[in-house]
Every structure is written in C-alpha cells, then in structure tokens.
Amino acid sequence: MKFTASREALLKPLQAVIGVVERRQTMPILANVLLVAKDDRVSVTATDLEVELVASMEAEIGGAGEITVSGRKLLDICRALPEQAELAVQLSGEKLSIKSGRSKFTLATLPAADFPTVEDINARQTLALPQATLATLLDKTHFSMAQQDVRYYLNGLLVETDGKYLRAVATDGHRLALCQVQLDGKKMPQQQVIVPRKGVLELQRLMSGEGDVELQLGSNHIRIELDGIRFTSKLIDGRFPEYERVIPQDTSNHLTADRQLLRGALQRTAILSNEKYRGIRLIIRDGGVILQAHNPEQEEAEEELEVSYKGEHIEIGFNVNYLLDALGAIDSDEVILAVVDGNSSCLLQMPGNEDCKYVVMPMRL
C-alpha cells in the first residue's frame, strides 16, 4: 500500500473518526484505525464494536492495499507536522512509514483482516432526508435518554418509522421526549430501532447541518451516510416501552406561559432547591403560577409568574431539571403546560404543534 496526501486531507477523516477509537483497549486492534487505499481514495475506519465510523479522502494512490495503525499516534503525527505538508505513506513489511520533508515515522501495524468491520447491514428500509431534519430530531430528544440504567433498552434513542412519520423518542423513566417529522413522498413501513446512547452522541458530533443524509435501518444496525462519513451503529436488542400510553390524553387544564419568562423563573427558583432531588413546587391557579423551592438548609425561593390559565387549582412538584431541559428544546415563544392533577404526568408542547411532546412525571413534595 502506498499513497501521498496533504496533511490537511488526512487530518479531516482522522478527526472525524477518532471519537470512537477505544482509549481503554479491550482488544489492541480497537486502538487502531483501518486505512484502505483504493481507486484514488483512502478511507479511514474506526470502531469500538458498537459504533463504526468510516471517513474517506482523495489521495494519489501509488499502490492499493489496507492496513491498521494506531489512530491516536497517526492523528498526533498529522497534527504536529507543519501546515500544507505533503505526506508519503507506504507499507513496507509489517511497518507503515510516513515521510514528510525531513521527518520520517515508522509505525507498527496489525493486519487489516483482523479489524472488525460491518459490511452490509441488510437494511429493511433506506430513507433520504435533510441532515438538518435528522439533527433536529436528535437535538430535541437526546437529553431524555437514560444513562447506565439497568433497563438497558432505555439507554438509547428510539427511532421509529410509521407511515408518513419518522420519529425519535427518548425516556429515562422519569420524563420522555418525542419529536417527529413527516417525510415527503412514500409511506414508510412500521419499524422501531433503539440506537445506543453512545451512537446518538457520536452522530450529533458529526452533523454539520448541511446537505442530505441517507438513513438505513436494518434489524441489527443503523447506518447513516453524511458529508463523506459513514456512521454505523449496532442497535440495542430490546423492546422499548409503549411510550404512547404515558403521553397524557386528558389535558383539560392548560397553562400558557412565555417560554423565556418561565425558564428564567425556574432557573432562579432552582438555585435554592435540594441539590440531589432538584424538587420545585408549582402552585397553579387562575392567571398565575407560584414557583417555590427549598433546600435542607431551610433556605427558600419563591417567584410568582403571570400566565394564562383557567382551570383547577393544582399543586405539583417536579425535578426542575426536567422542566428546564424540555423548555430548552422547545423553540417557540410560548409554551403550553397541560396538567391533570398533582400526581399525574404533565405535557409540555409548543402551541399548535403536535410534533414535539415532552412528558414529565411529578415528584412527591
């Protein structure tokens, strides 16, 4: 294998994939990246056995071939070389040599055949959509995913196709975020996959918001092609809870508030809430809501906010972080809080928009 490329050309794919190169090396080869030189292109692959990233670049190929070398060291070398440096990369025997100007590096390798890659994912469906749309789905839901919950199927994001809709749902058992978009054109089959948390966060990092993406859903993998990068993640093998059943339907008590004002009031009141439980009490009555918090040091915060509300007098407690997360994901000027009573879940929505829903369970106060 032999190719030449500029420092900048090689840096870009290396930086794109380095996030999944294992730091804790369970298998030594996972600290490596796979370099494949073929047909005027060099591709760089990294994997942690859960998420695989492949990025490629144009290069002048002197000889096709493939090999693996330490991803971290290769990136450090490229970074340390001067700008616009030309690199000549060549495999000789079991060593990979990199020459640039008067610098020469010789790296240890492991055989490409030992590098675990995912080839065909046997996609059940392939969707094309704007990258910005996919980014929105993830941004508006990812924060509700569980972290290291023993209910392993919650440690990820549900991606679902259902007729016209592509939907993302995340829940940690205390709150739930749902966002859906309609894709033009064909009707999609019903399909549910759970993308692990790590894959979701890695994917968000890769997206620039420009152009289109191609999304493939298989039964064991999800694959997304964007900006010359191919993202593949294993799926969580489990059944996601039936989320529709926890979205409140009876929402007769509607509170409409200015989103920024409510957010500000919650943030101020939260300063004196219990640091562990983050409990905050909302006293909701005609025309106004009172926010109260106190902590074990007996300090108290209270704020009154004018809102539009006609309904029963309701006192309800929440983990304020859950409300703030939802209000951060909503981007309308006003927000609707639908409450049933002090023991039931509350629904946050944008006025006139059924596509994003945030459900928060109350706390006992």
Partner 1 sequence: MTRTDLRNILHIDMDAFYASVEQRDNPSLRGKPLVVGGGSNRGVVAAASYEAREYGIHSAMPMRDALRRCPDLLRVPPRIGHYKSVSEEIFAIFREFTPLVEGLSLDEAFLDVTDSLALFGSDIEIAKEIKKRVVDTTALTASVGVAPNKLVAKIASDLDKPDGLVVVSAEEIRSTLDPLPVRVIPGIGRKTLARLKEKDIVTVADLRLASDRVLEPIFGRFAQKTRDQASGVDSRPVVSSRPEKSISAEETFDADLTETNAMDRQLMRLAERTANRLRSKDLVAGTVQVKIRQADFTTFTRQRALRPPGNSTDQIFEIVRILLRQWLSEHPGARIRLLGVGGSDLSAAEQRDLFAGDAMPAGSHLDETADKIRDRFGESSVNRARTLDSGQIR
Residue ranges binding partner 1 (CB under 8 A): 147-151, 171-176, 239, 241-243, 245-246, 277, 279, 297-298, 317, 319, 343, 345, 359, 361-365
Give least dist CB 306 to partner 1, A. 24
Instruction: Compare residues 7 and 167 and give the one whose CB is closer to partner 1.
Output: 167
Chain position carrying tokens 């392993």: 152
Q: Is 276 left (phi over 0), alpha (psi -120 to 50) or beta?
A: alpha
Nearer to partner 1, 251 or 345 (CB): 345
* Residue (268 or 278) nearer to partner 1, CB: 278
To partner 1, the closest distance from the beta carbon of 266 in angstroms equals 17
Nearer to partner 1, 132 or 152 (CB): 152
Radius of gyration of the chain (CA): 25
- Distance CA(237)–CA(182), nearest Å, equals 26
- Which of 178, 182, 144, 139 is closest to 348 using CA atoms? 178
27 secondary structure, DSSP code: S
Select from 126, 157, 134 the least CA-distant residue to 206: 134
Main-chain dihedrals φ then ψ at residue 178, nearest 5 degrees: -130, 135
| Beta carbon of residue 136, minimum distance to partner 1 (angstroms, whole number) | 24
Q: How far is the CB of 249 from partner 1 (least distance, A)?
A: 13
DSSP string for 228-277: TEEEEEEPP-SPPP-GGGGS-----EEEEEEHHHHHHHHHHHHTTS-TTT
Q: In which residue are the tokens 């539009």 written?
A: 308
The smaller minimum CB distance to partner 1, of residues 177 and 213, is found at 177
Structure tokens at 339: 């409450």
Cβ-based nearer residue to partner 1, 186 or 364: 364
Shortest Cβ distance from residue 219 to partner 1 (Å)?
18
The span from the CA of 22 to the CA of 50, in Å, is 11
Closest approach of Cβ 356 to partner 1, in Å?
Answer: 17
In the complex, what is the shortest distance from the CB of residue 38 to partner 1, in angstroms, rounded to a whole number? 44
> Considering beta carbons, is residue 26 or 148 the nearer one to partner 1?
148
Q: Toward partner 1, which CB reaches closer, 308 or 344?
A: 344
Place of tokens 């971290």: 72
The tokens for 192 are 């549910």
At 98, the amino acid letter reads I
| Backbone CA torsion sign across 21, 26, 32, 37 | negative
Shortest Å, Cβ 278 to partner 1: 9
90 versus 192: smaller Cβ distance to partner 1? 192
| In the complex, minimum distance from the CB of residue 257 to partner 1, in angstroms, rounded to a whole number | 23
In what helix (H) or strand (E) does residue 326 lie, and over which residues does it extend?
helix 320-329
